[in-house]
């Protein structure tokens, strides 16, 4: 029997990737927040929650997954390969302290997306070699979303860009005011948490990010 064809490289449907985090959202309902993010034009989201009991998280995640499917939005689960599989999510995102990327790749179903957080060139190369479909690089700027972060700046994007054939996603302290620098450094997309989740109007915030990214790309075509 012939093996399934390789689905080919992943392309992210929008250059804005919003991480839904209850803590950062200040108690906002995540389903309402997701609707606002979708209204703003974002079509890649990740659910990130380190504290909710798994049974409760599963119920929340299932509703978000359903809404993402209706909207043709990629739904990525942070950290939990088991939850991603149970939900039939589009993929999972792992950090350097989570299940190793190589093992996560082995557990995922064919076609599921694997994203990996990296903080230096060595980690970015390893993520590529371990089968990452996109490589996240950060922290670009100081961030309050993580109590401990490694500041690497857009310069790291420039350094790893020639070696990483999959999408590079910049993360950490990115705002509408600095996102152009990150895109011009070579990022394919930016992941944001507080800049959208904690914004007074998340839909407007998402839309402004997409407009600013588009303008940055037009000014510096790659």
Selecting among 22, 43, 117, 145, the annotated active-site residue is 117
On whether the CB atoms of residues 201 and 39 are closer than 8 A, the answer is no
Concerning whether 139 is annotated as a catalytic residue, the answer is no
Report the SS3 class of residue 186: coil
> What is the residue-wise DSSP string for 90-156?
SEEEE-TTSS-HHHHHHHSPTT-EEEEEESSHHHHHHHHHTT-SEEEE--SS--SSSSS-----HHH
Q: Active-site residue 117, yes or no? A: yes
Q: Are 78 and 49 in contact (CB under 8 A)?
A: yes
Q: How many CB atoms lie within 10 A of CB 46?
A: 24
Q: Is 4 exposed, middle or buried (0-12, 13-18, 19+ CB in 10 A)?
A: exposed
Cross-strand bridge partners of residue 20 = 47
Active-site residue, from 48, 126, 128, 208: 48
Q: Could you say which of 28, 62, 125, 146 is catalytic?
A: 146
Confirm whether 146 is a catalytic residue: yes
What whole-number distance in Å separates Cα of residue 60 and Cα of residue 116? 23
Active-site residue set: 48, 117, 146
């Amino acid at each position: 029997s012939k093996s399934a064809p390789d689905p080919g490289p992943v392309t992210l449907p929008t250059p804005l990737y919003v991480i839904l985090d209850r803590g950062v959202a200040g108690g906002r309902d995540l389903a309402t927040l997701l609707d606002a993010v979708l209204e703003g034009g974002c079509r890649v989201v990740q659910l990130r929650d380190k504290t909710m009991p798994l049974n409760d998280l599963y119920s929340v995640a299932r509703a978000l997954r359903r809404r993402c499917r209706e909207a043709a939005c990629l739904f990525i689960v942070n950290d939990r390969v088991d939850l991603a599989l149970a939900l039939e999510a589009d993929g999972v995102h792992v950090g350097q302290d989570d299940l190793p990327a190589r093992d996560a790749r082995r557990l995922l179903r064919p076609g599921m997306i694997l994203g990996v957080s990296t903080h230096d060139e060595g980690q970015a190369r390893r993520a590529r070699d371990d089968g990452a479909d996109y490589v996240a690089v950060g922290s670009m700027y100081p961030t309050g979303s993580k109590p401990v972060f490694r500041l690497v700046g857009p310069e790291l994007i420039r350094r790893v860009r020639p070696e990483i054939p999959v999408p590079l996603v910049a993360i950490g302290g990115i705002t509408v005011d600095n996102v152009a620098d990150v895109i011009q450094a070579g990022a394919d997309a930016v992941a944001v948490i507080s800049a959208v989740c904690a914004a007074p109007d998340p839909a407007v915030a998402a839309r402004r990010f997409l407009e600013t990214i588009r303008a940055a790309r037009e000014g510096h075509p790659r």
